Structure 1
Amino acid sequence: MIALRLVETHLTQAGTSFLLHVDGPWGSGKSSLLNLVEERVAPYFQVVRFDAWQQSRLAPAWWSLLTALRSEITRSRPQWRRPFVRIRESATRIRRTGSPYALAFVLVAIVAVLLGYLLWPRQPAPLDWQQLAKTVTALFAALGTLGAGAILAARLFLWDSARGARLFEQTQANPMADISARFRWLLNRSEKPVAFFIDDLDRCDQKYVVELLDTIQTMVRDMGGAQQRPPAERAAYFVVAADGQRG
């Protein structure tokens, strides 16, 4: 019945998000039920499994949800197409957020050119291969250091780490607007409708439970209703297994 309800909702109300709470005490078989439902809906949905208890100690709830969604979308693609998901996602974020990232890219390019100019010999001897090898080695070492710095910056500013996610929250006036836009973008990259199966939420503390459910509500609400959402955009579906009596 749960599988039929999910499929029916998607077919009859494609623009409407859907949340289902599977209520039951610990050990009653909620996880086993999710496994059975996943088998039934797998032909119709891209299922994202999310262990709330494991994720609650790692990072903000929104970052964990987006990371799980991106990982599942990437995993479902052929090997050669997987890098393009991150490339397109980064380009979209840079285009949305504007000049800070473009400025950082320009600065990195300028520094790389200056390093090459300073390290390259002015009048290299035609047969001085030893000196040429030293110069090339120094240049690659400098570019490697520069690349490591760029990767670190990406983890901080492109949300590739939990630390970067927290920094983003602290430096933005309205972080959920950008988060909701990125959530919507990822949903539309999936080849099937996306259904989150959230398990072990009743093992988390009350603060994280409220944070996770509020994050889901905010992201879905900011996507707009069925009348506001363009037909090409997907809705989000959530099946939450938790003991409603806990806490």
Structure 2
Amino acid sequence: MSVVDERFTLLNDMPPEGPDADLLGTGPVAAGLADLVHSSRGNTPFVLAVDGAWGTGKSTLMGQLSVELARRPDVEVVWFNAWTASGVSALTGMLTLVLGRLDRNVVRRSFRRLNSGGLLTGTVRLGLSAVAGFFRVDRAIDELWDRMAVDARAREDARRLVQDAVTSWVDDQHGRPRRTIAVFVDDLDRCDEATTVEIFEVIKLYLDLPGIAFVLGCDLAVLSSMRVPGVEETAQVRHYLEKIVQVTYQIPPPEEAAVRATIRGYAERSGTTDLLTDATTALIGRQTGGNPRRVKRLINSFVTEYRIDPGWRDVGAEALMRAVLLQHLYPECYRAIRAGTGDTVGDLLDYRWIRESRWQRPGDVDLGCPGLAPFLERYGLSPDDPEVLARLDERVPDGWSTLADNADLAALLTDLGGPTDRLRLQQRLRRRPLRTAPAPEAAARVRLDGVRLLWIDDTPVNNEPVLDSLTARGAQIRTAGTGAQALDLLRHFAPNLLVSDVTRDGTEVGFDDLRAIRSAGYTGPALFHSGWVTPERRTLAEAAGANGITSSVDDLIDWVERHATARSRPGSERSGGDPPTWG
């Protein structure tokens, strides 16, 4: 592999470390929040929430804040991994972390004081001889942690021990400002609801103590919709959160300059700087909203495709980068290209030109020019038809008007080059589509046992990722390249679900094929899957006996799942009964 190839490297998802890594420019905010927490330590306990949506830089800001606080005198910083906590482990984990930051002698004295005063209950009162070392190897305290899962008295003992030890540690400063433990809990909104509530209970019932400040990383909009025992209305959940959180810092939308600097920084680290122009950088910033995680995934997709598929060396890294941009930023356009057979990009650009001309010079659009006549003919239209413009809107795929009106997309498509270069790229994507897009989640979806799917398509290779996903979940699938093959499989395979393309060899034969299959006795659900979905095609699909037509893989999978669920209901017919409603 060449040196140039090896320059392209993956980006990790870890928060950046060090001042030079602060691409988002959050350092000053972190320093300001650190000053706020440190100067307010005499008023602890309190909870600061760093609020923001997924991928907006919460972890980065919290990491910088923790570094700033660790530099301040009399502040101890601990991190609690909320993802690994569940049930009582949230309680034992957080208490263990907090006690672990205290002087071990302070913990021993607190245990001795409570034990001798009769304030510790049950078998935990083992006497001072059992306290042989630090709490992690102390038999009495280890037993206390073990009992907390099933014993309310043990949990009360733990609360007393932590309260006494933390209070002694915080105030043992001979008149100097009290010491503080800053507890960081990130990704709280990514935990299951039971764990989140458990963590909140630990904060309020066990660690609501002078000297403890919490910094929570979360999306409060997500937490506001969680289920809380005894709380039913969303407004009540928000009131519940207000009792937990005293102050909120909401991650602001990044400024344009910061977004550009972030993207350039990621490009430099991944070796893709030469592939991103100023215009492309601005486009990525607008379409991702400056979300660092989305930017990293886009760049990582390019790096992975280029490194694992030698065929892209011939097409060119620049062309691949633009294909990845289409896949990530304009998935509808990418799907249309993959589903097409000719120069889909050219058709979309021609359609945009017609729409712009019609708007700018109504009644004065030259539809007879050499470049547009073939375009109109591909949609069965004539430049001489006085209603050609109105009919064109009905013939092009659904959503094309929105795509054609997008100036950023038009500029990206224009950058694909002339007809020869862009057709070469489109044909490459049809033969070997990009493989780094997130695959449909199968783990959380229903099983498809009992589904017998007949899929008619003359280019089945385009459907392999979907076919593999459905097969892995229990579906039995047979493919046919023609209507005649489908009729033969109808007799031997006995499908209860049918998916078909529309166009083969440039002719719309799918509708007639479905009529023939219906006449042969098939009564189950049927769906057309095509990159070209127009109002006219919807009408033709319904007339042919289909439940619908879609260009979306996600909608297709959802449709199969609904069919499988309908079949699993008691009393359903072998052929699937009434087909699921498509809409």
Is 1:187–1:236's contact at 8 Å kept on the other side of the alignment? Answer: no
Q: CA shift at 1:34, angstroms? A: 1.3
User: What is the root-mean-square deviation in Å for CA atoms of aligned residues?
Assistant: 3.5
Q: Corresponding residue for 2:220? A: 244
Cα distance between partner residues in 2 of 1:220 and 1:65: 9
| 1:85-234 map, 5 Å | 85-96=106-117, 97=119, 104-105=126-127, 154-157=141-144, 159=145, 163-169=146-152, 171=153, 175-176=155-156, 179=159, 182-186=162-166, 188-189=168-169, 192-219=179-206, 221=208, 223=209, 234=210
Code of the residue aligned with 1:210 in structure 2: it is V
Structure 2 vs 1, CA of residues 10 and 188 (structure 1 numbering), >3 Å: closer, same or farther?
farther
Structure 2 vs 1, CA of residues 90 and 180 (structure 1 numbering), >3 Å: closer, same or farther?
closer
Is 2:124–2:143's contact at 8 Å kept on the other side of the alignment? Answer: no
Code of the residue aligned with 2:212 in structure 1: it is A
Instruction: Determine which of 85, 89, 96 is the counterpart of 1:55.
Output: 85
Cα distance between partner residues in 2 of 1:103 and 1:17: 30
Alignment of 1:31 onto 2:43: no
Q: CA shift at 1:47, angstroms? A: 0.7
Q: Corresponding residue for 2:36? A: 8
Deviation string, structure 1 residues 64-97 (Cα, Å, up to 9, x no partner): 21101122335xxxxxxx5x35533432341352
Aligned to 1:26, the other structure's residue is in SS state coil
Instruction: Determine which of 34, 46, 58 is the counterpart of 2:76.
Output: 46
Cα distance between partner residues in 2 of 1:218 and 1:99: 19
Unaligned runs of 5+ in 2: 1-28, 131-136, 174-178, 227-583
* Percent of residue pairs identical: 25
Deviation string, structure 1 residues 164-200 (Cα, Å, up to 9, x no partner): 221442x46xx45851552352354268311111112
Unaligned runs of 5+ in 1: 75-81, 110-149, 224-233
Structure 2 vs 1, CA of residues 4 and 18 (structure 1 numbering), >3 Å: closer, same or farther?
farther
Larger radius of gyration: 2
Structure 2 vs 1, CA of residues 203 and 180 (structure 1 numbering), >3 Å: closer, same or farther?
farther
Is 2:30–2:61's contact at 8 Å kept on the other side of the alignment? Answer: no
Code of the residue aligned with 2:76 in structure 1: it is Q
Aligned to 1:25, the other structure's residue is in SS state coil
Is 1:187–1:194's contact at 8 Å kept on the other side of the alignment? Answer: no
Code of the residue aligned with 2:49 in structure 1: it is H
Structure 2 vs 1, CA of residues 151 and 16 (structure 1 numbering), >3 Å: closer, same or farther?
closer
Structure 2 vs 1, CA of residues 13 and 104 (structure 1 numbering), >3 Å: closer, same or farther?
closer
Code of the residue aligned with 1:49 in structure 2: it is W
Q: CA shift at 1:217, angstroms? A: 1.9
Cα distance between partner residues in 1 of 2:34 and 2:202: 21
Cα distance between partner residues in 1 of 2:41 and 2:138: 42
Structure 2 vs 1, CA of residues 9 and 209 (structure 1 numbering), >3 Å: closer, same or farther?
same
Cα distance between partner residues in 2 of 1:101 and 1:177: 11
Code of the residue aligned with 1:165 in structure 2: it is M
Deviation string, structure 1 residues 121-165 (Cα, Å, up to 9, x no partner): xxxxxxxxxxxxxxxxxxxxxxxxxxxxx96655223x2xxx322
Aligned residues: 179
Is 1:49–1:198's contact at 8 Å kept on the other side of the alignment? Answer: yes
TM-score (norm 2): 0.27
Cα distance between partner residues in 1 of 2:195 and 2:110: 27
Q: Which of the pair is proportionally richer in helix?
A: 1
Query: More relative contact order in 1 or in 2 (CA 8 Å, sep 6+)?
Result: 1
Alignment of 1:65 onto 2:132: no
Q: CA shift at 1:205, angstroms? A: 0.8
